[in-house]
Structure 1
Amino acid sequence: MTIPALTSATTSDQSFTKKYETHKIKKEGRGKSKTYYPFVFNDIMGLEKGDGVRVDDIILALKGHVKDGYKFNPVSPLSDEDPGYNPRPSPEDKVHVLVWVLSANATKITESVLKKMKEIREAASDLGIPQMAIVTHIDAACPETEKDLKNVYKSQYLKKKVYDISASVGIPVNCIFPVKNYSDDIDIDDDVNTLILSALRKIIDFGDDFIDCGSTLHYSTICRSYRMGGFLRFPAKPSSSSSSSWTTATVKVFLVVTGWTFGADYDILEQVKRSPEVETTRNPQECDLIIVFCSITSRVGSDVEAAMREDSVSSGGKPVILVLMHHTRDPDYSTDVRRWSETFQNVVLDVHVLFHETQPGLLALFKK
């Protein structure tokens, strides 16, 4: 266990991080022979009521204009005459994933912080940068999870917390990842690592996809959070002839996600995007097909009906592929047998998916 990023053990309304700092993850070796994984994290000063990092500085960081080690000044934004300003950022200097981190113990987000987050979100969206969020300190917030970390996805408190976050600040539930901090541990723990690595895997997937798509994100999510945040950057990749295939797409697909999928819908999307005839769109009116990822959290019937009542699904009359996502560890889990095309005329295909956040990919997939 290593701790390259300094942290504070006390709770405060002020950010502990003051500088724009780059952190690498060591792969193997020691000394001069050390090698690192091909991505880096940039830690930044957090958003605070009244002070904290300036929105202008975060936007400059997204564009690669902030040099490593720059000390943020809440009073004055970074200018192009400052030594910490990078006038000619390379592709590797720019941010490829925006990750915001919030504590499960955090109080209600203030209006001033929400305003800052809105500006940052819109700027990142304009740049096509994928966004996601991580919820920390879940054990401190929930006694049931503190007793056994495996209860994280059984905890009604944490589930409500995630849904409240989604409702209040607009983060899609399937892009919110709960993790436990290494705060009082001196050795690594498999249960803690499972949650952290699950979130890391999605961060890397989002960033890798951003690069492969030539800075045009086909599956854009709007994610924000509070107090702490960070960026992920990748080395630049050479362009290839395959990336141009998206310009000749013939079928436009609109995506709808309901419920808590823990990013499993992203695995399906990766398979969909391998077809050169498919392109995703953010406008349901211009799509040819809608894919609805419906997480089954209570009863199958009520969850499906709620998903199909979404305005973008019910109003346009577009054909729908309904993906029912069952959260289970059992690959032999028995799914619902009904055909939803008999209930909803616009459903052209039923697909049942088994998934669990502790296992990469999908456990099973069944068509009906």
Structure 2
Amino acid sequence: MKPFAYSRATDRANATAEVANDATFIAGGTNLLDLMKLEVMTPAKLVDINRLDLSEITETDDGGLRIGALVTNSDCAADQRVRRDYPVLTRAILAGASGQLRNKATTGGNLCQRTRCYYFYDTAMPCNKREPGSGCQALAGFNRIHAILGTSEACIATYPGDMAVAMTALDAQVEIENVDGEIRQVSVQDFHRLPGDNPERDNILEAGDLITAVVLPGPPEGKQIYRKVRDRASYAFALCSVAAVVKMQGEAIDSVALAFGGLAHKPWRDEAVEELLIGEKPSVELFGRAADQLLAEAEGHGSNDFKIPLTRRLLISVLQEATVTGAAA
């Protein structure tokens, strides 16, 4: 690990000003410190934000929740309001990492975690995300965990998180404060970027931007499901995951939100798939057409070709479970 300077932020203005001047935020550090040890990231200075007042979960005027950026994953998943009204979020968080890591990992940091691409982590290998213009070794290399949707010739890495997948299905908003003290909200769906020609940029944050909270709208109606397929039962990243929020009206699907992990550089949501399902009576044939729509432009790269039929089967299975009338949520 290369030497670095360290300071503790006393307020948001101080924190954003330092990071705008080429420093890096640190909270739980569960991803950042690993990357620093491997010299994948070599920040000149770390700004510790753990003393900022961002560790509360509060109710909003419209019946939703505002989850502070420093709320740990464990505290978020265990909060009674989250468990009762947003079970898909609790299940997604508990599907990720380990208990020890969830005790340290924060809401804001979880959103900003970086890909687990083997070549990104290996500084001896070319990687456009780590060193723009050097090439993408994964394209012709071992790419079993890599993306099948939204890729480019520059990068086929995936976003590895679970929490953001559930938040995407819940239409959550990321609250961001910039270096001038201005606050804006961006949907979780739009927070992460596709790689395009600039895969080094994971999200839409600008220099000095500080995530202050994630805001959940009022509890959605219907059944909530989070399903994750991985190589082992725990402490493994998703090969494919699905967050589903589905409401039935009689025998037809009244509303549906679907978000997918492990398939792209960001949590993936395709509104055309949801529109195809709304108003229809559930059937395997309908769910198959939804899967065809989702995967119409999917492209495997050899070792990850299996993700296409895997995703198809997983989506059909989740939709079958979600549309069984009278089943428990």
Larger radius of gyration: 1
Smaller-chain TM-score range? Answer: 0.3 to 0.5
Task: Please give the TM-score of this superposition, normalised by the length of structure 1.
Answer: 0.32
Asked which structure has the greater RCO (Cα within 8 Å, sep 6+), the reply is: 2
